[in-house]
Structure 1
Amino acid sequence: MRPLLAAATAVLLGAQPVHAHDVRLDLDAATIPQLVRRLDAGTLTSVQLTLAYLRRIHTVDRKVRSVVAVDPTALRQAAESDRRRRDGRARGPMDGIPVLLKDNIDTRGLATTAGSRALRVPPRDDAELVTRLRDAGAVVLGKTNLSEWANFRSTNSTSGWSAVGGQTNSPYVLDRNPCGSSSGSGAAVAASLAQVAVGTETDGSIVCPAGANGIVGLKPSLGVVSADGIVPISSHQDTAGPMARHVVDAAILMSVLDRREVSYELRPGALSGARVGVWRQAGKSAEADRVVASAVEVLRRAGAVVVEVELPYQEEIGAAEFPALLSEFRHELEGYLATRVGAPRTLGELIAFNERDPVELSRFGQELFLMARDAPPVTDPGYVEQRRTATALAKRSIDEVMAEHGLDVIVSPTNSPAWETDYAEGDAFVLGSSSPAAVSGYPNVTVPAGFAGALPVGLSFMAGHGADARVLSFAAAFESASASRRPPSYLPGASLS
């Protein structure tokens, strides 16, 4: 464990109240509703639960390297939750539940770095979503590592690496990559270092690390979660979302993150009679093909009508999305940097900082920064057409297929098995299904679907804008029917050879 993180965690563990004692907890299996029942019955306290997670951070995260900071007030937050509950003032199901936050989400009193040494001065205020979590009584446990600048710095980057946090590892096989950019959030939840975490996504950054780490991750509909106080890439695609070991926990966390008054009550048996389109993407990964074939049988046993589909326009979406993101990144990042005291003010200043810093360019370069610096402004007609094309075609790719086949939801493999972390070659993506929902702004939830040897593969459920609760219900029904998830084993890479 990194020395500062180890010292901070040790201080918190040493500060435990004298009345706190060990309780029997299967953290991997426990859901928020189960924990709330124990909290209400007095057989568990938030302080005990928080201590259990702090102990795992202190021990397990030496291997995984997913947490970059613990909040020094975590036990005080937990004690306050316990007092509220004793006084009959509990604020709901998230009260007293420990949550980790991706380190690109502004958190008062904790550095919010996006993985960069240029942003080490803490922000002045909480992001709006953090305020919502605090108001709900959640215990902010700390911050998680990420792919630096949310994987938008280099064309040859390595997911899960940042100059601030180093390399996050897959808890399933330690030399395998956790995907990104919400690498630390995905790996930490898989390793039971918090009950839930918050990640962010522009295109794949929640669902890929969730799939690769064998957990649930929801990329919500664009705009339902506030983007205030989050280091941006593009307001046309960026969103924060929940990451959890169980769909019910993701739904409970989402009910707090969502700015609307929306019910996230899951519907038992949601798949019975549902028409499900399967976008197999066959032939890209033999391991993913096998998991999808098994998942289709689970869907049918759960009562779903399965229809084979292909999503059109994927090459055209990608061709328009990338240049649009370059223009948006510079414009939106510089707007965010203006809120951060002591940070570089422009993308050019960040580029110069990286060139001077002894760590920043030690693993890969900053080609995307240079391309974004020279990209057309967001007032340029060429950019405007690129964004219009990307968003319109992404929406059509889902809407037209759902309408043609009368579908309730589309499923597709989330990821192929995790690749070996390799700084020379960079990331080795083989398969993903995030772009249609990411570029359209539609919801996409991944749920564990199976394994390729020791490595998890997820199944994604996507539908139209605002269908967040519906796709979560489908995912919960699949989770119940398949029971595919298993805890990580922290295997060395040699075990696969």
Structure 2
Amino acid sequence: MTCRPSRLRHLSLSILAALPLLNAPHASASDTLHELAQDLQSGKTTAQQIYDTYDARIQMYNPGIQAVTTRNPQARADAQAVDQQKTARGSLAGLPLLLKDNIAARGMVTTAGSTALADNLAEQDAPLVARLRAAGAIILGKANLSEWANLRSNQSSSGWSSAGGQTRNPYALERSPCGSSAGSGAAVAARLIPAAIGTETDGSIVCPASVNGLVGLKPTIGLVSRTGIVPLSHSQDTAGPMTLNVRDAAMLLNAMAGSDKQDVATRQADRLRSKDYTAGLQTTALQGKRLGIVRKMVDGYDADTKALFDKSLAILIAQGATVVDQIDLPYLEELDKDELTVLLYEFKADLNAYLAKTPASVKTRSMADVIAYNKQHADTVMPYFAQELMEQAQAKGKLSDAAYRQASARIKLRAGKLGIDAVLKKYKLDALIAPTTGTAWLIDYKAGDTVEGSSSSPAAVAGYPHLTVPMGQVRGLPVGLSLFAGAWSEAKLLNMGYAFEQARPALPAPTLATTATAEAK
């Protein structure tokens, strides 16, 4: 969704069924970043002990879900260094994270899910990774993703890549983890890691967060640096946190956000970012807030999902929010065609620029080279779906083309000023809400992804923030509640999401079962 690792491949369900199940200790509060940080500060545990815990879980459970593709050989030593540190520690000191495998981390390859980049060894961290390390975080490794962030084929299967195989949803292993940040979402849901970093162009953080029962935040474009990330679209790409709760997402955003001289979009980040995204996390944060239901984003779901959404509305109202129904967000139908035009143009231009700067060991130096590589290695790179979207992108001209410039200007205006901004102003709203997407669908390489609804595109195209928070389960499968608003409104969204999360009934952790429930469709 426009979203050297071990060569793991998808296992048969009979093998998966024989794997050990996650049990109650794996769903404890100490799986959250916040609780782990408290345990470290109190001396209840050490960074090395935390590392050993998650290392053991990855070894035991990852073969069944294939979320983690590459391990950082320096991670245990980094944890030991935190324990030996005598000076003041950073806010994430000793806390382990995974990075989506399109984000550069020194000493590790960055594949974007493709074996074409198997030799793309990073000599330095992406700036957002450097920020995380400066806060004390331990990078345990890389997470699988949908190959080339799911912009290779209309028939692609989320979570599948030639470099990492098929990632599976921990709540039901025969079902999709969504993508493209599939491994990031599945790893956190299965408690293989307390939190992970994903990236989104359109839906690639919020969809896998929703179907894996997580909090996911797609920030405003320009709040977090994109330097060192394999690009898809410079107008829509961003990295963001995927966590077990809202507080953890705020903690990560504190470390990730900030200006980067190499990424012009971030020039205002230091000035406009919140000083502390955890500061306003209060149970009373919904009092007096006005939330607008984008009814067109609700009507297409099944009766059970609508019922869960209605229960969530009751919780929001009980916490002091005013809910305004039947909000008409204009231009929803018109966004898709122009968005695809923009993405295809930018994918070609941005990927060419990225590949030209990769190490000399990388032989694919352009999108044309990648297309040729895929054809040459079709048996392993294209066993299930083709690359027609990459070929369409390759056929596009330069970013100076009128077709690109007009489509780009049109969708930004329609999604932003004439869309989200206008509706928020007209109805005096603090945010717009809808289900994030439907439940996880069956993995089916012939049918591809069969997504039931999505609320990601308006905020994605506008470049505005989008938060998803679990609202419950439908037939044993998670579904998220989306909140999105204008640029730089991350703090407000996190505050409201936190108040909803605290009032909502607790959610069960996954058990790595091969089916969710007998009624799951």
Which residue of the other structure, out of 338, 343, 351, is the alignment partner of 2:371?
351
Once residues 390 and 205 of structure 2 are traced to their aligned partners in structure 1, the CA distance between those partners, rounded to angstroms, is 22
The answer as to 2:335 corresponding to 1:317 is: yes
Q: Deviations over 1:116-138 (max 9, x none)?
A: 00101112221111111111110
Structure 2 residue aligned with 1:9: none
Report the Cα offset of residue 492 of structure 1: 1.2
What is the rounded CA distance, in whole Å, between the counterparts of 2:6 and 2:399 in structure 1? Answer: 43
Given candidates 267, 276, 281, the residue that maps to 1:267 is 281
Q: Is the 8 A contact 2:220 2:463 kept in 1?
A: yes
CA displacement at 1:468 relative to structure 2? 0.7
1:176, distance to aligned residue in structure 2 (A): 0.5
Specify the SS of the correspondent of 1:240.
Answer: strand
User: In the alignment, is residue 338 of structure 1 matched against residue 356 of structure 2?
Assistant: yes
State the Cα distance separating 1:153 from its structure 2 match: 0.6
Partner of 1:470: 492
| Conserved? CA contact 1:313–1:393, under 8 Å | yes
C-alpha separation between the residues in 2 aligned to 1:45 and 1:67?
Answer: 23
Query: Offset at 1:273?
Result: 1.2
Query: How is 1:48-197 mapped onto 2 (pairs within 5 angstroms)?
Result: 48-84=49-85, 87-91=86-90, 93-121=91-119, 122-197=121-196
Deviation at 1:283, TM superposition (A): 3.0
Q: Provide closer, same or farther for how the CA distance between residues 227 and 3 of structure 1 changes in structure 2, counting only shifts above 3 A.
A: closer
Counterpart residue identity of residue 285, structure 1: Y
Q: CA deviation at 1:89?
A: 2.3
In the alignment, which of 301, 306, 320 is matched to residue 285 of structure 1?
301
Matches of 1:315 and 1:410 in 2, distance apart? 17
| Shift, 1:490, TM fit | 1.5
Q: Among residues 508, 514, 519, which one is paired with 1:486 in the alignment? A: 508
**Aligned residue for 1:390?**
411
The amino acid of 2:404's aligned partner reads Y
Displacement of 1:400: 1.3
- CA shift for structure 1 position 201: 0.2
Cα deviation code 1:219-277 (max 9, x no counterpart): 00001100000000111000000000010000000000001262202331110111111
- Contact 2:205–2:216 at 8 Å: present in 1 too? yes
Tell me the equivalent position of 1:10: none
What does residue range 13-24 of structure 1 map to in structure 2 within 5 Å? none
Residues 240/444 of structure 1: CA separation in 2 closer, same or farther (3 Å cut): same
**Among 294, 299, 302, the residue aligned to 2:316:** 299
Gaps of 5+ in 2: 10-23, 259-269
Q: Secondary structure at the match of 1:389?
A: helix
- Matched with 1:367 is 388
Equivalent residue letter for 1:270: A
Residue 467 of structure 2 is aligned to residue 449 of structure 1: no
Residue aligned with 2:39, SS: helix
Further displaced range: 273-282 or 135-144: 273-282
Residues 27, 493 of structure 1: alpha-carbon distance in 2 compared, 3 angstrom cutoff:
closer
Q: Could you say which residue in structure 1 is the equivalent of 2:264?
A: none
1:29 match: 29
User: What code does the residue aligned with 1:385 have?
Assistant: Q
Question: What residue is the counterpart of 2:226 in the other structure?
Answer: 227
* Mapped partners of 1:55, 1:339: distance in 2: 36
Cα distance change, pair 192–88 in 1 and its aligned pair in 2 (3 A): same
Q: 5 Å matches for 1:397-436?
A: 397-436=419-458
Structure 1 unmatched runs, 5+: 7-23
Deviation by residue 1:341-365 (Cα, 9 ceiling, x = unmatched): 2221111111110011131011110
Question: What is the distance in 1 between the residues matched to 2:381 and 2:65?
Answer: 21
User: What secondary structure, in the 3-state scheme, does the structure 2 residue paired with 1:493 have?
Assistant: coil
In structure 2, what residue type is equivalent to 1:468?
A: E
CA distance in 2, matches of 1:320, 1:386: 5
Q: Does the aligned pair in 2 maintain the 1:28–1:192 contact within 8 Å? A: no
Partner of 1:359, secondary structure, is helix
Aligned 8 A contact 1:101 1:198 in 2: yes
TM-score (norm 2): 0.89
Question: 2:310 & 2:334 partners in 1: Cα distance?
Answer: 28
Cα distance, 1:486 vs structure 2: 2.0
Contact 2:33 2:195 (C-alpha < 8 Å) held by counterparts? no
- CA-to-partner distance for each residue in 1:98-153, whole Å, 9 max, x for gaps? 00000000111111100000101112221111111111110001000000000011
Per the TM alignment, residue 494 of structure 1 is displaced from its structure 2 partner at its CA by 7.9
- The CA distance in 1 between the partners of 2:350 and 2:7, in whole Å, is 32
SS at match of 1:418: coil
State the Cα distance separating 1:489 from its structure 2 match: 1.9
Q: Is the CA contact (8 Å cut-off) linking 2:329 and 2:420 kept in structure 1?
A: yes
Deviation (angstroms), 1:3: 6.5
Task: Provide the residue aligned with 1:47 in structure 2.
Answer: 48
State the shift of 1:483 in Å: 3.1
Residue 402 of structure 2: aligned partner = 381
Structure 1 residue 495 displacement after superposition: 4.5
In structure 1, C-alpha distance between the alignment counterparts of 2:312 and 2:111, rounded to whole Å: 39
Q: Which residue of 2 aligns with 1:18?
A: none
Structure 1-normalised TM-score?
0.93
Q: Is the 8 A contact 1:28 1:245 kept in 2?
A: no
Distance 2:516 2:93 in 1: 42
**Equivalents in 2 of 1:227, 1:298: separation in Å?**
36
Q: Which residue of 1 aligns with 2:205?
A: 206
Q: Secondary structure of the residue that 1:126 maps to in structure 2?
A: coil
Counterpart contact for 1:271–1:477, Cα < 8 Å: yes
**Aligned CA-pair RMSD:** 1.7
Distance across 1 between alignment mates of 2:183 and 2:168: 8
Contact in 2 for aligned 1:449/1:484 (Cα 8 Å)? no
Looking at structure 2, the residues matched to 177 and 79 of structure 1 have their Cα atoms a distance apart, in angstroms, of 36
The residue that corresponds to 1:17 in the other structure is: none
Q: Secondary structure at the match of 1:382?
A: helix
Quote the sequence identity (%): 43
Hey, what's the Cα distance between the residues in 2 that align with 1:28 and 1:384?
50
Shift of 1:88: 3.6
